[in-house]
Structure 1
Amino acid sequence: MTPSPVHVFLPCRGGSQRVPGKNTRPFADIPGGLLELKLTQLAEAKEIASVTVNTDDPEVIRIAEGQRKIFNIPLYVSERPAELAAAGTLDDFVAYVPSVMPDGVIMWTHVTSPFFGAKEIDDAVLSYRREVENGEFDSVMGVSRIQTFLWDHRGNCISHNRDEAKWPQTQDLDPIYEVNSAVFMIPKDDMIARCDRIGQSPFLLEVGKFEAFDIDWQDDFLVAEKIYQIK
């Protein structure tokens, strides 16, 4: 069976409330910021068929158009409707995404994962080929493993049974997985049918702590800059 082409969807909304200009402000020594870095990583990836940048921000469009020359695959830029640019509209946005994407498999990733680079992108595609196209799962979701002592807001331990052992070795705990938003992958037809970024039985793709680093707050941005400069 011929593998389905993998098309990257890169949402890049303007107007970040927590980190102003997060996607396009200079990052380390990169004038086009996180967006330019992510486009460079995508241009270096070998396993993807196209990239679609979706935005309501003219600066994102300017930077993306300027990076078109580094791509050997199609780079599309689509303008997001204003009603889908507001915070809190993710379900409606997910329903809209297939309308701007080519047929095949949709890989949804973010510029705010600056260390999820070309190798990780290609590895995610290979995981999809193995676990979905040739396996038992129907989608891929990037996750981070958590193995530590956890309590809920009611004061109940949820990581283990304290009647059996109050403080077991953390490596013996059953892992819990946090969605890190580094990557989601699902066939376009399934995204339309389910109106979701994942299927009924997603393969949990463990992403390393460093590669899963996500920029959500101003402090995250500053820390990521320092790490990038050192690395």
Structure 2
Amino acid sequence: MSLQKVVALVPMRHHSVRVPGKNYRPLAGKPLYQHILDTLLACPEIHEVVVDTDSQVIVAGVRETFPQVCVIERPAHLRADTIPMNEILMYDTDQVPADLYVQTHSTNPLLRAETVSRAIQTLQDNYPAYDTLFSVTRLQSRLWDGLARPINHNPAILLRTQDLPPVYEENSCLYLFSRQTLELRRNRIGERPYLFEIERDEAQDIDEEIDFTIADLMMRARGAGA
């Protein structure tokens, strides 16, 4: 199977509990969602960018500022907060055919176009040995479970944290998958996923109010250093 036709999917809810209106709230001078759209449109490997949303604010903004972006207005039966993302992706991939889908979020404004391109090229070059790809952040910290049991270290052997064997956090910045994998597994992660490492500063995710403040400062610092 070829992975040549690439479509980027960006789901965006209107409602957000912890950071009200975050997807369209201004960040470093423009609405949050515009940052990720600028990033995806700068990737030559991506043939089409698609926004799935239930927000009329975002629908109007995308159509005005990004007329080349396809907008899918999310149907009512998929709008509840309890609907799994994989079900939304099943709907979206049925609307817009592609060989390979790249899914990311508006809450990853520091993600760089070069990183997205490199992820696409990595899976294309390694398929079918790897059937999907998702982005991760390396952790080299002493981790414990809720019962105070060590997860990734031996407390009797106090290694420096930089010498610990790394573990990896799924950072939700990037998922690359085919419709076939999504249908078979009802999951965007396949049987043989490639763990694609992203630096921590680029993987900054906006989940709480403090994250918005940090991302705003980082975006402004990046712009000042450009």
Instruction: Please report the TM-score for the alignment, with normalisation by the length of structure 2.
Output: 0.92
Matched to 2:166, the amino acid is P
Q: 211, 215, 221: which is aligned to 1:220? A: 211
Residue 2 and residue 97 in structure 1: after superposition, are their counterparts in 2 closer, same or farther (change >3 A)? closer
Give the match for residue 38 of structure 1.
36
Amino acid at match of 2:154: N
2:139·2:169 contact (CA, 8 Å) conserved in 1? yes
- Cα distance, 1:172 vs structure 2: 2.2
Determine the structure 1 residue equivalent to 2:57: 59
Pair 1:125-2:120 in alignment: yes
Map residues 183-202 of structure 1 onto 2, 5 A cutoff.
Answer: 183-202=174-193
Give the Cα separation in 2 of the matches to 1:61 and 1:208.
31
Gapped regions of structure 1 (runs ≥ 5): none
Matches within 5 A, 1:74-113: 75-90=69-84, 91-113=86-108
Q: 1:85 to 1:204 in 2, by over 3 A?
A: same
Farther off after superposition, 121-130 or 207-216: 121-130
1:205 matched to 2:199? The reply is: no
What corresponds to 1:159 in structure 2?
A: 152
Measured on the aligned residues, the alpha-carbon RMSD in Å equals: 1.6
Residue 216 of structure 1: how far off its partner (Å): 0.4
In structure 2, the residue matched to 1:21 is 21
The alpha-carbon deviation at position 201 of structure 1 amounts to 1.3
CA deviation after TM superposition for structure 1 residue 3, in Å? 4.3
1:109 positional shift: 0.5
For residues 187 and 168 of structure 1, the distance between their equivalents in structure 2, rounded to whole angstroms, comes to 41
**Corresponding pairs, count:** 221
Q: Secondary structure at the match of 2:66?
A: helix
Percent identical residues? 33
TM-score normalized by structure 1? 0.90
- Give the conservation status (yes or no) of the 8 Å contact 2:7–2:100: yes
Residues in 1 aligned to 2:2 and 2:142: alpha-carbon distance in whole angstroms: 45
What secondary structure is seen at the aligned counterpart in 2 of 1:23? helix
Q: Which residue number in structure 1 is paired with residue 10 of structure 2? A: 10
| Distance in 2, Cα, partners of 1:49 & 1:6 | 6
Which amino acid in structure 1 is aligned with residue 47 of structure 2?
Answer: A
TM-superposed deviation, 1:48: 0.6
Separation (CA, whole Å) in 2 of partners of 1:132 and 1:120:
18
Q: Distance in 2 between matches of 1:131 and 1:67?
A: 36
Does the 8 Å contact 2:137/2:199 carry over to 1?
yes
Q: Is 1:9–1:101's contact at 8 Å kept on the other side of the alignment?
A: no
In structure 2, distance between residues paired with 1:204 and 1:22: 28
- Matched residues in 1 for 2:186 and 2:126: separation? 21
The one-letter code of the counterpart of 2:42 is E
